[in-house]
């Protein structure tokens, strides 16, 4: 099915982009489709990689994936 943006999320993305531009900083966006995220890597490996990159709330992502399958 894929990711569908609502009008609210588009407005939030535009606002966030403006804030990042004003502050002259980086913005990293990651869209995970849990249905296909683990075709080539196991769950444990993915969580460790995300933690290694300093992604906040990896435990929350882990919990969400467990409840989506």
pLDDT in tens, 36-60: 655 666 778 888 888 998 888 888 8
Q: Is residue 34 part of a domain?
A: yes
Could you tell me the residue range of the domain that residue 29 belongs to? 7-68
Please provide the distance, in angstroms rounded to a whole number, between the alpha carbons at the two ends of the chain. 15
Q: How confident is the model at residue 27 (pLDDT cuts 50, 70, 90)?
A: confident
* pLDDT for the residue 36: 64
Domain contains 47: yes
Q: Could you tell me if residue 28 is inside a domain?
A: yes
Q: Please tell me the pTM assigned to this model.
A: 0.41
Query: How many structural domains does the chain have?
Result: 1
Q: Does residue 17 lie in a domain region? A: yes
The answer to whether residues 65 and 37 touch, using CB atoms and an 8 Å cutoff, is yes
Q: Classify residue 2: in a domain, yes or no.
A: no
Range 6-11 contact pairs with CB under 8 angstroms and sequence separation of 24 or more: none
């Amino acid at each position: 099915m894929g990711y569908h943006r609502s009008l609210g999320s588009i407005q939030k993305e535009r606002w966030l982009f403006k804030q990042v531009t004003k502050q002259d900083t980086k913005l990293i966006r990651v869209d995970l489709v849990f249905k296909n995220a683990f075709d080539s890597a196991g769950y444990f490996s993915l969580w460790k990689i995300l933690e290694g990159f300093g992604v906040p709330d990896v435990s929350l992502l882990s919990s969400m994936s467990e409840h989506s399958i």
